Amino acid sequence: MSDNLGTTAPHVSVEPVSVMAPDGTVLDQDFVDTIPEADLVALYEAMLAQRVYDDRMIKMQRQGRLGFYLACTGEEACSYGPAYALQAQDWFYPAYREPGIALWRGMPFQAWIDNMVGNCDDPVKGRQMPVHWTARAQNIVSISSPVGTQIPQCVGSAYAAKLRGDDAVSICFFGEGTSSEGDFHVGLNFAGVWKAPAIFFCRNNGYAISTPYEKTTAAKHIALRAHGYGIRGVVVDGNDILAVIKVVREAAEWGRAGHGATLIEAKTYRIAAHSTSDDPTSYRTREEEAHWGERCPLKRLRAYLETKGLWDEAREQACITASSERVISALGVAEGKPHPDLDTVFDDVFAERPAHLQAQYSELKAHLASGQSAYKPK
């Protein structure tokens, strides 16, 4: 336990927490020792697989097989780390760049892919764009496009758990761009007053689409804002998955101990484009991208595992091949499934379908049957 946690008075620190240097050298062996080697390997494999999924999916989107995709390339540690650090009863509010939350916590891979396609088995029933999945069984809350809205919601869940006497913390993910929204402020302030066991995980990846950090805020660090809410504030090297695990664990302990919330700022970099709708060449340099490419979280963990003899090029290639096959095959399966049923347009608006929606449903059904609709069911 860091001395940052030794007291119940929240503390704000902007010295980035790191466990490994960019070249994989261990800076905090004690912490590394808390994580079984098998887990380190599993985490690396999962991040590498994610990299492969992301690359594949972007290609598929270019081929017109997906409507949209958004990768977490370079930021894998910021979702696999927290997913690993927290417990089954904890609640997650991911943004759109945290696939690791889903996949590490056990959302079925095929369901995740079905969401990318929006087919009849998509957990959200084809209602949202790709990358907006949900996983109730894993306490992972439905992803929203509007950014920041989930921050006060996460505080509500954290408070509810506390009220019920449950030992659960709630964590919310968002980018540094999102931290400019009013909901950020409102949520963190409520969390402070309520001493809610919440963790606010800000991925500072340098950009909000094209907008660089300097145009997002004049604050040196987002974590400094913790001062204004009377909660803990921590900066972490977001490309160091072990450091991420460490700070999330500490934040969870702090919350479970009844001390309240923590704002974590993870410094990382969005190596990929914002999404398949974006082209970063117009707003940043190739040098900058290359610089961060070198510091990517996979390289770092791999270097460590290799020194320990836990990883090698053969395993690397095997993992890449297996992941690639896995995603291609799942995508093929997903593409083979039909569209969600017409009912899905009118269901789940309310618990029961009211008369006016039943009437609209009948009207639309007749329209499709007439053969005059622009929509062709699949």
Partner 1 sequence: MAKMNIIQAVNDALHLAMKSDDNVVVLGEDVGKFGGVFRATVGLQAEFGEDRVIDTPLAEAGIIGAAIGMALYGVKAVAEIQFSDFIFPAYDQIVNELAKYRYRSGGEYPCPMVIRTPVGGGIRGGHYHSQSPESLFVHHAGLVVVAPSNPYDAKGLLLAAIDSPDPVMVLEPKRIYRGPDHGKNWGSHPKGEVPEAHFTVPIGKAAIARELTGEGTPVTIITYGAMVHTCGKAAEEAAKEGIDVELVDLRSLQPYDLDAIVASASKTGRVVIANEAPRMCGYAAEMSAVVTEHCFDWLEAPVTRVTGYDTPFPYTLEFAYLPDTGRVLKALRDVATYA
Report d(CA 270, CA 206) in Å as an integer.
7
Partnered with residue 93 across adjacent β-strands are: 172
Question: Among 241-249, 263-271, 308-316, 354-362, which window interacts with partner 1 (CB under 8 A)?
Answer: 354-362
* Residue 187 binds to ligand TPP (criterion: CB under 6 A): no
The active-site residue, picked from 62, 136, 227, 283, is: 283
**Residue 368's binding partner out of Mg ion, partner 1, a copy of itself, none, with CB under 5 to 8 Å set by partner kind:** partner 1
Q: Which residues pair with 12 in a beta bridge?
A: 233
**Partner touching 167 among partner 1, ligand TPP, Mg ion, none, CB below 5 to 8 Å by kind:** none
Q: Given the DSSP bridges, would you call strands 211-212 and 207-208 parallel, antiparallel or unpaired?
A: antiparallel
Give catalytic status of residue 221 as yes or no.
no
Site string for ligand TPP, 289-328 (x = CB under 6 A): ----------------------------------------
Burial class (CB in 10 A: 0-12, 13-18, 19+), 87: exposed
Q: Which of 190, 192, 205, 170 is nearest to 82 (CA)?
A: 170
Nearer to a copy of itself, 148 or 280 (CB): 148
Nearer to Mg ion, 126 or 175 (CB): 175
C-alpha span between 124 and 269 (Å, rounded)? 29
Q: How far apart are CA 49 and CA 102, in angstroms?
A: 13
Under 8 Å CB-to-CB from 212, ≥6 apart: which residues? 206, 283, 284
- Of residues 90 through 119, those in contact with ligand TPP by CB under 6 A are 97
219 interface partner picked from Mg ion, a copy of itself, partner 1, none, CB below 5 to 8 A per type: a copy of itself
Q: Which of 10, 123, 175, 187 binds Mg ion (CB under 5 A)?
A: 175
Q: How many residues bind ligand TPP (CB under 6 A)?
A: 16
Rounded to the nearest 10 degrees, how much is the dihedral formed by the CA atoms of 4, 86, 68, 322? 120
**Residues near Mg ion, by CB under 5 A:** 175-177, 205, 208
**Residues near a copy of itself, by CB under 8 A:** 180-186, 189, 192-193, 195, 214-220, 222, 224-225, 227-231, 260
